[in-house]
Structure 1
Amino acid sequence: MSLPHYWRTPLCLAPRPLHPWLTERGSLTAMLMAHFPDITVRVLFQGWQKAHQDEADILGPKSHIACREVLLQSGQTPLVYAHSITSGSALRKGFHLFGRTGSRPLGALLFADPTIRRSGLSWCCIDQCHPLWKKAHAAVGKLPKKLWARRSVFYAGHDKLLVTEVFLPALCQYTLA
């Protein structure tokens, strides 16, 4: 996986309460469900769009990608903005269920299939210039100037699905016991 340098930020720079969330190798949704009541997935967008530059570097030079953007929330409190993308050919092959996930957690699909592999996690602090900060802001309103995010690629054979999760203020304030 080719990542821009800023997606290789040392974990020690992230706030300590975020470390367990940033480093969880299993389903983030399952982890959220274990700590928050009433976790729901609110679909913000599902369709085709142009890849952001740092995404195109990972998926290759494709002009348009299949995209799914959701908020993971507890009740009405948004906790995570998630942005997942894949190519059109991957929609027809390894990730054919991606387009039909609806309001179900994507992790339920990814972690239920033992043939799907996951890359290592990477993380960074995104600011107001990053397109995903802007999308999270459009979805939830007022945000701090910087947000922590993590990213990984899921593989179904040669097909790739890039998942980026942006951690929102309500989650950043929660400390795991």
Structure 2
Amino acid sequence: MKINQIFSHSRQRWLNLPLASHQYHRWLIERGSLTARLQQRYPDFHVKPVCVRYRKPAFEEAALLHMTANDSAQVRQVLLYGNGRPVVFAHSVLPRRSLQGEWRSLGRLGNKPLGAVLFASPKVKRTPLRYKKLTATHALYREAIRHVAGRPEYLWARRSIFSLNCASIMVTEVFLPGLE
């Protein structure tokens, strides 16, 4: 049975618009490559892998990617740096079945930005962005907060699914307090 058959989309609670996102609003709604925008903003932009491993994704991620309960994915977590500090925590879910064909190299990116690959091909399709204010109860908040000083009340995040042919991956970007 597919996970999405038993998943309640009302539990998803990701928003269509980033309401009251203040200084992060322009970053959140950017439909183009976040990597390209960060490279323009920060001359010293770079990517630092935090964790890359195969595992079962979070329940809601698996449901949105139409994965079964037994499917595993490469979960890639990286920090995007600007001005010598982390500005975005990126969490990508790459189902094993999606790391074939044109996307076979995505499983071996190292410190290369995923966004540069995704936006290089006009054949890649992207779902509309969805937004969420992550609080301490969310797993991605807890992962992202490890890399910043202090403990903000919440962190803004956005996510979307990229597809090429029959392969899909999910990218979630968590905006850190150091982003200017």
TM superposition score normalised by structure 1: 0.88
Alignment of 1:63-74 (within 5 A): 63=70, 64-74=72-82
Residue by residue, what CA displacement relative to the aligned partner does 1:80-121 show, whole Å, maximum 9, x if unpaired? 000001211111235212112111111111011121111110
Aligned partners of 1:62 and 1:87 also within 8 Å: no
Instruction: State the 1:34 CA deviation.
Output: 1.2
Aligned partners of 1:3 and 1:57 also within 8 Å: no
- Identity, % of aligned positions: 36
More deviation in 157-166 or 54-63?
54-63
> Given the superposition, is the C-alpha separation of residues 4 and 115 from structure 1 closer, same or farther in structure 2, using an over 3 Å criterion?
farther
Instruction: State the 1:43 CA deviation.
Output: 0.5
> Given the superposition, is the C-alpha separation of residues 81 and 166 from structure 1 closer, same or farther in structure 2, using an over 3 Å criterion?
same
Residue identity in the other structure for 1:97: S
> Given the superposition, is the C-alpha separation of residues 141 and 3 from structure 1 closer, same or farther in structure 2, using an over 3 Å criterion?
farther
Instruction: State the 1:141 CA deviation.
Output: 5.0
More deviation in 90-99 or 35-44?
90-99
Alignment of 1:146-161 (within 5 A): 146-161=154-169
Out of 24, 27, 33, the position equivalent to 2:30 is 24
SS across alignment from 1:97:
helix
User: Corresponding residue for 1:55?
Assistant: 61
- Partners of 1:121 and 1:76 lie apart in 2 by 28
- Partners of 2:139 and 2:103 lie apart in 1 by 24
Aligned partners of 1:52 and 1:131 also within 8 Å: no
Unaligned runs of 5+ in 1: none
TM superposition score normalised by structure 2: 0.87
Residue identity in the other structure for 1:103: N
User: Corresponding residue for 2:47?
Assistant: 41
Are 1:14 and 2:21 an aligned pair? yes
RMSD: 1.9
- Partners of 1:170 and 1:53 lie apart in 2 by 30
SS across alignment from 1:80:
strand
Alignment of 1:24-173 (within 5 A): 24-59=30-65, 60-63=67-70, 64-171=72-179
- Partners of 2:10 and 2:158 lie apart in 1 by 12
- Partners of 1:3 and 1:105 lie apart in 2 by 32
SS across alignment from 1:13:
coil
Instruction: State the 1:3 CA deviation.
Output: 7.7
Aligned partners of 1:46 and 1:66 also within 8 Å: yes
